[in-house]
Structure 1
């Protein structure tokens, strides 16, 4: 029995030492990773090369087995020669620059709080650091809108391109509504898929009130403010008609600012006829002047690849374990809110 107890104690000590070493190594790796990824990572993907490779794969798939072998043999020789030439140029200190203009492709899939603007600002800063007068930017946008200040900042980031005279095209495949359209209208050109949802130039807010429930249970909630309109509506106290009126005034003022912003970005738009809070499908939005062309982002990109080098720019920041968990929960909530909005605001197919 003593032998078993001693063996168990010895095993426990070994496990403790191994666990301590594991924890120490994890801490060192995390500290090193935090320093290395403190600013995040900018990833560049050559979409022109990806499309060309896909095109070649489809063409080769149509050849018979013998022709495929010959093609692969030819390609291997070609790549070997290109690598040799590139190495020789590098030794001579030569730099090969394409004579085509560059199309920088950004992606923005917006949530309710528009936290994706953190990556967008880094991507735009990176583009502005190297962009040439003939270069362009394409933003693939998907967002049903959200908080005013978040989407206001996102639209301001896109204005940086406009102020720098960089041509900006926004492509909408699914939805650019409310704050999403606030971003889209900054572009020189808006392209949307036929059944994408566009518009919803309006402001909405709703506040639940539990005052009567609390009153029935003899629960008092005290709210103290300094300033007449520091709090107009409250969750737990008794709301007044004066507070409701002020709340509606604030909504109307925000709507006026929204309308003015869209009008400034697209002066030819009849703003009063479209700033009703309604949304339209892509083909209808074209008739209203909310967009400039009906197309998918894929067709738009393939067309631009003929005369541009197409580079996707994506900024990512390494997330901590807790951020990954909370971020996943937030995304689930966003998706739930989006489904509710879709069911309430548009018919289901």
Structure 2
């Protein structure tokens, strides 16, 4: 018995050693490939196909059993007609509506990915194509959203028709981006506007003075630091800070007015926000409707293709995610079996 256990233990040790060696080799190979390969991958989905697939599934589910064969034959005829039209060549090319998404945080962190997607579209899209941007953002840092707006402006400068769809919110920096579109659409209760600038700076100088703590703020340049958190703020510094805010506001207003010349900019550049229906009445938005409704409308006459740049996950990340998911499933099944066993006891 002892010999058998010893042999079995040696066998397990050899197997584990082999697994470790293979794992290290795979990890090393993946790392080398990751250093030379593109860190991102382009994901492309034709939404027309997804819609047709769901439509057919629902049609088959709702049909009587005897009618399903006829439906399947009808679907095959549709596929043949589509294949024939696709073989017509460049002259028969259907227009394409390209879809990209931008979900903004306070730093507009997705701007880098947006820039690469815009570059890809400028190189790939043909005249007559449309770019649909599904945009959601409540705004954030001025310089960050200024760059994001400039990236969307590149589409218009390249001669591509641009439509921005807002389902929830495009305020402040979000509206700075959205107003550059040829057509701006918003859901009836989407929040739009907030053409204004805000800054909040706490100051604890009096608290520090109360505890006999001095803070020295040294600058070279009269307005290098107008307001501070720790030091004593002056009236001159406050006036200069407000002047800078007003200057940024004027740049914001000019940006919007240039892209929407029919807008009464002074009437709407108050920092207020409006819901979609009100925004249409004030000229901030061109039309009401959700992005999904607009995509369905475009699918009637164009191919609607969604593209997105996604970071490539490393092998270790994929293995870790798979192991984690497997453990979670095993635990869930164990708990479920334990729970079910209560009902089978006598």
TM-score of the superposition, structure 2-length normalised? 0.79
After TM superposition, give the deviation of residue 54 of structure 1 in Å: 1.4
1:247–1:194 Cα change, 3 Å: same
Residue 99 of structure 1: how far off its partner (Å): 2.3
Q: Which residues in structure 2 correspond to 1:113-128 (within 5 Å)?
A: 113-128=107-122
Q: 2:123 aligns with which of 103, 106, 129?
A: 129
Q: What residue in structure 2 maps to residue 166 of structure 1?
A: 160
| Cα RMSD (Å) | 3.3
Query: Which residue in 2 is equivalent to 1:139?
Result: 133
What corresponds to 1:48 in structure 2?
48
> Alpha carbons of 1:293 and 1:75: their partners in 2 closer, same or farther (altered >3 Å)?
closer
The answer to whether 1:57 aligns with 2:57 is: yes
CA distance in 2, matches of 1:320, 1:230: 45
How far 1:100 moved relative to its partner? 1.2
1:252, CA displacement in angstroms? Answer: 0.5
1:75 Cα deviation after fit: 5.5
Q: Which has the greater radius of gyration?
A: 2
1:57, distance to aligned residue in structure 2 (A): 1.4
Distance 1:304 1:77 in 2: 23
> 2-side partners of 1:110 and 1:97: how far apart?
39
Q: Aligned equivalents of 1:224 and 1:13: distance in 2?
A: 67
Deviation at 1:175, TM superposition (A): 0.4
- Is 2:296 aligned against 1:305? no
SS at 1:165's partner residue?
coil
Quote the residue 1:36 is aligned against: 37
Deviations 1:73-95 (A, max 9, x none): 7767987x89x99xxx8xxxx96
* SS of structure 2 residue aligned to 1:238: coil
Identify the residue that residue 27 of structure 2 maps to in structure 1.
Answer: 26
- Other structure's SS at 1:204 match: coil
Q: Does 1:249 align with 2:246?
A: no
Aligned counterpart for 1:183 among listed residues 177, 181, 193? 177
TM-score of the superposed pair, with normalisation by structure 1 = 0.78
Superposed, 1:1-349 pairs within 5 Å as 22=23, 25-38=26-39, 40-68=40-68, 71-72=71-72, 99-318=93-312
Change in Cα spacing, 1:75 to 1:168, as seen in structure 2 (3 Å) is: closer
Structure 2, gaps ≥5 residues long: 1-8, 316-346
Shift in Å at residue 36 of structure 1?
2.0
> Which runs of no fewer than 5 residues in structure 1 stay unpaired?
1-7, 322-349
Asked if 1 retains the 8 angstrom alpha-carbon contact of 2:30 and 2:314, the reply is no
Residues 198 and 282 of structure 1 are in contact (CA less than 8 Å); yes or no, is this contact kept in structure 2?
yes
**Superimposed CA distance per residue, residues 279-317 of structure 1 (whole angstroms, 9 cap, x where no aligned partner):** 000000010000111111111111111111111111122
Residue pair 1:37, 1:317 contacting (<8 A) in 2 also? no
Aligned to 2:143, what secondary structure does the other structure show? Answer: helix
Whether the 8 Å CA contact 1:107–1:140 is kept in 2: the answer is: yes
**Deviation of residue 30 (structure 1)?**
3.0
User: Shift in Å at residue 164 of structure 1?
Assistant: 1.5
